[in-house]
């Protein structure tokens, strides 16, 4: 059983939400190099104890961290070229920084092209001249992670051979491969399989070092996983029996949410749905392995769309919107009892309980003492009293000014209705000029045991720094900052407020 720190050990804590892709770096996207360590130092000096990230998996179409090629693998784009130079896998001449059009935006297309060239060079050097201790470390990693790593590397190698097309478009032999077909293909493309295993080795090695550094600074990392997996993922390809698919592998129905705050037609995510009966027959082994794996990477785990464990919105495959879906019962407590039997009780899990929440969702959350979420922007959008209002907060929750799906606090204010603006100013006793810090002070002063602030709000940024627009298929997940934006005055004020509110 892995060693997992329990949430109950923490008093009032606060921290910052920012994804590694947003870190400063000369290579077009944030990574686990110097910019990440600079951020950890900034966080520690500001008196913070939490760092929240988005899912760390390799992203597919749309670059969304919530649509990944694997529930277990890491994002290769976060591998730091600077650290590869230190390891001797790249030379200074290999990593001449590309021309970056906008240091505040990630251009994923150019980044993928540039970094793939670097990684291929590093892999060739590793194969030909890496020191024995590094190769032994690699061999140990491959053996330790074998249960998911081989299938992932094979999946990515086959995908590369098919110009990135979804596995449903591959030839029949590899769409639903037998063990013999997998072995044959892997033997014939051994270099490609080894390359993708090598990238995962680098990712986990660099992430572990960064996490160890954060933990030594008394900062705990809040990870994040989507409840569903992507259709174009190794998870579905390698074990179709765990999903609601037809005989050709296409979904019978897909995930989404009905019309809500973000969209009048709902959100059609397109993820295949779990066959929960099949999971139960295996005593939820896949889910237990997934949760256990995440706790080897992070200290606390947020599960996105927690309500889907009670009931989920099932939309017939092929629909244009999510309007025609229906609620279907999920596994409920049965899943979490199975997880507890293997991993222990009191797991540090956060339940994302936003949206249409029914009593059974609240009961499931509270049964396992999972903290829920409170988002201040939602408090002031609603003209009525509501659970998001700070005077209605409970201790066992996390208060956010906003999440990755929200506008920034400043952006929200200047696009909100006059009534919402007035309610926010009156409640927080502030003017428009101080709106970002008013949100932060209110979150920190909440009775909520945890308060997490998006870095954009600390920087007082507007809507152009927003991370995601739910329902928009392109142009998301791009925001970055530069080192000069880590203002010392903000850092000192943040620390003062944190101390004032005993966090």
Task: Please name which of 117, 88, 134 lies closest in space to residue 27, comparing C-alpha atoms.
Answer: 117
Residue 329 annotated among the catalytic residues of the structure = no
Give yes or no: 304 in active site: yes
For tokens 């954060």, name the residue: 214
Distance CA 183, CA 198 (A): 19
Is 244 part of the annotated catalytic residue set?
Answer: no
> Which entry of 235, 244, 405, 457 is annotated as an active-site residue?
405
Burial class (CB in 10 A: 0-12, 13-18, 19+), 413: buried
For the stretch 207-221, what's the b/e string if a residue is b when 16 or more beta carbons lie within 10 angstroms of its beta carbon?
beebbeebeebebbb
Closest CA to 192 of 163, 234, 148, 157: 157
d(CA 461, CA 414): 12
The one catalytic residue among 352, 353, 381, 407 = 352
Q: What span, in angstroms and rounded, lies between the C-alpha atoms of 211 and 218?
A: 11
Q: Which of 304, 353, 381, 457 is catalytic?
A: 304
Residue 68 DSSP code: B
- Residue 503 has which token pair? 């966090």
269 near 255, Cβ under 8 Å?
yes
Q: Which of 16, 13, 15, 14 is nearest to 456 (CA)?
A: 16
CA nearest to 259, candidates 56, 88, 470? 470
N-term to C-term CA, the chain: 31
Query: The dihedral of CA 106, 110, 113, 115: what is its sign?
Result: negative
Give me the long-range contacts of 117-123 (CB less than 8 A, separation at least 24). 118/81, 118/84, 118/90, 118/94, 119/76, 119/79, 119/195, 119/199, 119/202, 120/195, 121/90, 121/94, 122/84, 122/89, 122/90, 122/198, 122/202, 123/194, 123/195, 123/198, 123/199
| Residues annotated as part of the active site | 304, 352, 405
């Amino acid at each position: 059983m892995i060693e997992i720190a329990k949430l109950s050990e923490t008093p009032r804590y606060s921290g910052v939400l920012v994804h590694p892709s947003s870190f400063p770096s000369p290579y077009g996207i944030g990574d686990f190099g110097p910019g990440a360590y600079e951020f950890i130092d900034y966080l520690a000096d500001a008196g913070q104890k939490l760092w929240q990230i988005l899912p760390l998996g390799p992203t597919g179409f749309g670059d969304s961290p919530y649509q990944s090629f694997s529930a277990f693998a890491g994002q290769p784009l976060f591998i730091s070229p600077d650290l590869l130079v230190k390891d001797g896998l790249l030379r200074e001449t290999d990593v001449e920084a590309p021309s970056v059009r906008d240091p505040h935006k990630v251009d994923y297309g150019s980044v993928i092209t540039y970094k793939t060239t670097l990684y291929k060079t590093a892999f060739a050097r590793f194969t030909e001249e890496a020191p024995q201790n590094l190769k032994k470390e690699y061999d140990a990693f491959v053996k330790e992670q074998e249960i998911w790593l081989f299938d992932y590397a094979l999946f990515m190698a086959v995908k590369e051979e098919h110009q990135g097309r979804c596995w449903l478009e591959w030839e029949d032999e590899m769409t639903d491969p037998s063990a013999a077909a997998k072995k044959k293909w892997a033997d014939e493309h051994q270099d490609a399989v080894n390359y993708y295993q090598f990238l995962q080795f680098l990712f986990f090695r660099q992430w572990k070092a960064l996490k160890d550094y954060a933990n030594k600074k008394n900062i705990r990392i809040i990870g994040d996983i989507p409840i569903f997996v992507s259709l174009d993922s190794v998870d579905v390809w390698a074990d179709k029996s765990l999903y609601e698919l037809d005989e050709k592998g296409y979904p019978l129905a897909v995930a989404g949410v009905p019309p809500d705050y973000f969209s009048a037609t709902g959100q059609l995510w397109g993820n295949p749905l779990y066959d929960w009966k099949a999971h139960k027959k295996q005593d939820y082994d896949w889910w237990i392995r997934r949760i256990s794996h995440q706790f080897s990477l992070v200290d606390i785990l947020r599960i996105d769309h927690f309500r889907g464990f009670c009931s989920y919105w099932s939309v017939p495959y092929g629909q244009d919107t999510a309007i025609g879906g229906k609620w279907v019962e999920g596994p409920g407590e049965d899943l979490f009892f199975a997880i507890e039997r293997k991993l222990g009780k009191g797991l540090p899990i956060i339940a994302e309980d936003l949206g249409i929440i029914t009593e059974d969702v609240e009961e499931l959350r509270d049964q396992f003492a999972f903290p829920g979420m409170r988002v201040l922007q939602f408090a002031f959008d609603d003209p009525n009293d509501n659970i998001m209002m700070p005077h209605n907060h409970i201790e066992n929750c996390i208060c956010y000014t906003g999440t990755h799906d929200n506008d920034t606090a400043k952006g929200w204010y200047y696009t909100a209705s006059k009534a919402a603006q007035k309610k926010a100013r009156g409640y927080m006793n502030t003017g428009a000029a101080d709106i970002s810090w008013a949100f932060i002070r209110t979150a920190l002063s909440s009775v909520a045991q945890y308060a997490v602030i998006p870095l954009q709000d600390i920087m007082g940024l507007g809507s152009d720094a927003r991370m995601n627009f739910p329902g928009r298929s392109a142009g998301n997940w791009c925001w970055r900052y530069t080192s000069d934006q880590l203002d010392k005055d903000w850092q000192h004020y943040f620390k003062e407020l944190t101390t004032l509110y005993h966090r």
